[in-house]
Structure 1
Amino acid sequence: MTQGLPKEKLLRIAIVLLPVTWFVTYTTFTFKEKLGVAIFSPFGGWQMGSNGLFMYAHVPPQRTGVPRQFIKLHNYTIKHMDSLNRLKQRPDEELGIYYLWDEKAPLKLYLADKYKKDSTTPYLKRWASVSPLYGEYGAWLIRQHPGAFLKHYIWPNFLNYYSPPQEFLGIYNMGSDTVDPGAVSWFGYKSNKVHHFSKNKNIILTAVFPLLLAMINVVFFFGFIGFTILGGFAKVSPYYRKVLWVMLLIWLGNLAFSVLASPIVLRYQAFPFIFTLAFAVLLLGFVIQESRQESKPVEENPLPDPAI
């Protein structure tokens, strides 16, 4: 027994952690073997670099004091920011995937320049090889301007958690009327042409979800506060109390991870939508029920007949 914890609890924790630890370790060593980079997810470095660039687009460029390993990449960044400043409508006005995937953005330009004389290295290996550098570069940019990062990345992304944009779920097949050969084979299509029922290719069904998620998040947040103020924790079973605390921990953890990790969009919030809706309904029901009981007038006991 360790620190008073029962062996059964330790066993349960181990059952949860061991498979996750094994998966992370196996994935890291597999990337090292196949791609030459010992990293759990190469995408993480690209994402960190992208997050830093979204912030850096709003601050004066730093031309001196740049660490040696970042100089070439940073020069691409400065040139790119200068070119974007001449545009009336910038492609990075909203948080998204611009700095991740656009061929004219600094990350892709640096990758192309690094391997411009190499036609043999597979693209996936090239893409993974720069991930550590991009992760360090993004972290360096953020450390240089923490206030700007809070203002131009964290706060807008927090608002996106409240009401996530539709992104790819807002336009049918990303606006294209064809699909790749892989999709044709997978779904058994007769051709690569696809059709939709919307005149402007917009997906009508998903248009309501940003507003719906905003309402659900508000109801859950204030429902939990109301549940606490009305003494809900003292009126439910110990098991239900644990479930509520676990739910709150998951909700806060998902909020923190979502806001910090990457620009939030609707497709990332499917799971939070389901469990937040379920508990929001339960908490709102409790608050309404308790409010009705408190609003009922107290019935006065009738006076007994005087003794004769």
Structure 2
Amino acid sequence: MLSGFIKTNRISLIIAIAGLALQFIIFKLFYPYADFFSDSYSYLYAAYANLDINIWPIGYSKFLMVFHKITTSDTALVAFQYFFLEFTALIFYYTILYFYKPAKITSIILFIFLFFNPLNLYICNYVNSDPLFAALSLLWITQLIWIVQRPRLYQIFTHAVLLYACFTVRNNAMYYPFISALAFLISTQRIWVKATGIILGTALVLIFINDQRNAAYKLTGKHQFSLFTGWQLANNALYMYKQINVDSTQLPSEASREVDHITKQFFRNTPPDMQEILSEYVANFFIRQSEAPLKQYYKQHFKPADRYNVIADWGRASIIFEEYGSYLIRHNPWAFARYYMLTNAKNYCLPPLEKLEVYNLGKETVDPIAQYWFNYKSRKVTAVSATIQHKILFPFTPLFFVMNILFVICMIARKFNTDKTLILITAFLSINFAFSVFATINVLRYQFFPMIICFTFTLLLIEWMDKKAAIK
């Protein structure tokens, strides 16, 4: 059905394919090597050691491991990430055209955004899970649109596979099952089909969670879904620490009391404007900074001899930090909302470029594991410029803010009188906002997929509002 529609729009397809190929060739002339940062090496080591669990979700490392059996070329990896992302964007684009038949100008703007967007190239040049997660998420949300608009029985199986794939690649997919359940509930399928669709997808996710918990138990001695959760919770809680009073005698364990003692020492030695410093940071100060309490505790208690033990010790520390961070948040919810969530909400509205500001973190070399994995002749990497991407990508930060504001304004103007797909998209953007503000840092690459969705449906809403005004 969609394939026939695409055939009737073959000119746009030819332009997209030719344009994507040309852009990629030019881009790789300027950036002959892939882009790396600390997470890249973690993913590569997990792939090299064929680990079942890592600090980050294991799906991308498994993908790297399989891809490495085919080729060691980093250009091939970047090409696959880029063209797979754009392939999913094509399916998404034609789905929007098929169901909503937007005006020509709307179609052209969306076409340019999806297929002639420099952000896509820079995102896909990373050895990191961002491009794969975005591509899988685009397929997932496109499938949900079809479930709502044109339900078919086979979709319960394809959806379950896509949901599982997203969940293995990025923790941001934790809320995806709720969006999927909503899609099935508002679809016109029979009750048993809706129930099967919800249960099957959830079952695959639960199987993955159980496998990760068991792998974490073997590594750390405790069942955990993510080896990163404790670090994130403690980091988030410490953003409010200077504004609260903590009675260390009430903390749940001796380890928590020791973390709190280090924290008190840290804040006693910080400048008076520490809260302002934190508000300007990317909401992960206590994870990244070596002088911060979490890193100090880790250094005092763990001396990993190799990368494998780094992962194991990181997970063991996460157990302690989860206990400590959870306690602080539970006992100080309003302070947490004010001093962490409010700061993070600002970062959500104007997500920093973060790693996207500079190529390879401004370094001229990569870690040995990258040289080995991609069979580089040396550790040295080059690019046309390490910093020009900051100027190229900077506009996307205010663009994300503007599109979110316009989406909300248009929805209010419609008095939330929406079709089923808009209900789904509104739920997705709302829950993404809540999850992002509460649970994770907010940087542009994390909001890459939500930006695509927000941009698309804001364009459609603006067009519908214009048509409504014209009728009046």
TM-score normalized by the length of structure 1: 0.82
1:222 shift after superposition: 1.1
The one-letter amino acid paired with 2:359 is: Y
Select the residue among 418, 437, 451 that pairs with 1:259: 437
| Separation in structure 2 between the aligned mates of residue 85 and residue 60 of structure 1, nearest angstrom | 17
1:16 shift after superposition: 1.4
- Decide whether the 8 Å contact of 1:100 with 1:108 is kept in 2: yes
> Judging changes above 3 Å, is the alpha-carbon distance between structure 1 residues 207 and 22 closer, same or farther for their aligned structure 2 residues?
same
> Counterparts of 1:12-51 in structure 2 under 5 Å?
12-51=197-236
> Judging changes above 3 Å, is the alpha-carbon distance between structure 1 residues 153 and 43 closer, same or farther for their aligned structure 2 residues?
same
1:245 shift after superposition: 0.8
Select the residue among 238, 259, 262 that pairs with 1:73: 259
What does residue 10 of structure 1 align with? 195
| Separation in structure 2 between the aligned mates of residue 213 and residue 23 of structure 1, nearest angstrom | 32
- Decide whether the 8 Å contact of 2:347 with 2:442 is kept in 1: yes
What does residue 298 of structure 1 align with? none
Select the residue among 287, 290, 314 that pairs with 1:100: 287
| Separation in structure 2 between the aligned mates of residue 133 and residue 28 of structure 1, nearest angstrom | 16
| Separation in structure 1 between the aligned mates of residue 330 and residue 445 of structure 2, nearest angstrom | 30
1:193 shift after superposition: 2.1
Partner secondary structure for residue 203 of structure 1:
helix
1:272 has 2:455 as partner: no
> Judging changes above 3 Å, is the alpha-carbon distance between structure 1 residues 119 and 270 closer, same or farther for their aligned structure 2 residues?
closer
- Decide whether the 8 Å contact of 1:95 with 1:153 is kept in 2: no
What does residue 246 of structure 2 align with? 62
What does residue 424 of structure 2 align with? 246
If you compute each CA radius of gyration, which structure gives the higher value, 1 or 2?
1
- Decide whether the 8 Å contact of 1:172 with 1:203 is kept in 2: no
- Decide whether the 8 Å contact of 1:37 with 1:128 is kept in 2: no
1:281 shift after superposition: 0.5
Aligned length: 279
Select the residue among 191, 194, 210 that pairs with 2:397: 210
> Counterparts of 1:97-136 in structure 2 under 5 Å?
97-115=284-302, 122-136=309-323
1:285 shift after superposition: 0.4
Deviations 1:127-178 (A, max 9, x none): 1112122112112222343232122111111121111111111122112222
> Judging changes above 3 Å, is the alpha-carbon distance between structure 1 residues 200 and 27 closer, same or farther for their aligned structure 2 residues?
closer
- Decide whether the 8 Å contact of 1:99 with 1:105 is kept in 2: yes
Partner secondary structure for residue 243 of structure 2:
coil
Partner secondary structure for residue 48 of structure 1:
helix
Aligned CA RMSD, in angstroms, stands at 2.6
Select the residue among 344, 351, 359 that pairs with 1:164: 351
1:181 has 2:368 as partner: yes
1:189 shift after superposition: 3.5
| Separation in structure 2 between the aligned mates of residue 85 and residue 136 of structure 1, nearest angstrom | 28
1:34 shift after superposition: 3.1
Partner secondary structure for residue 269 of structure 2:
helix
* Greater displacement, 276-285 / 34-43: 34-43
- Decide whether the 8 Å contact of 2:358 with 2:386 is kept in 1: no
Partner secondary structure for residue 204 of structure 1:
helix
1:45 shift after superposition: 0.9
The one-letter amino acid paired with 1:79 is: Q
> Judging changes above 3 Å, is the alpha-carbon distance between structure 1 residues 147 and 7 closer, same or farther for their aligned structure 2 residues?
closer
| Separation in structure 1 between the aligned mates of residue 267 and residue 371 of structure 2, nearest angstrom | 39
- Decide whether the 8 Å contact of 1:91 with 1:98 is kept in 2: no
1:226 shift after superposition: 2.0
1:98 shift after superposition: 2.4
1:119 shift after superposition: 6.2
The one-letter amino acid paired with 2:207 is: W
- Decide whether the 8 Å contact of 1:35 with 1:129 is kept in 2: yes
Partner secondary structure for residue 197 of structure 1:
coil
> Judging changes above 3 Å, is the alpha-carbon distance between structure 1 residues 211 and 255 closer, same or farther for their aligned structure 2 residues?
same
- Decide whether the 8 Å contact of 1:161 with 1:264 is kept in 2: yes
1:92 shift after superposition: 3.6
- Decide whether the 8 Å contact of 1:42 with 1:128 is kept in 2: yes
Select the residue among 198, 210, 223 that pairs with 2:410: 223
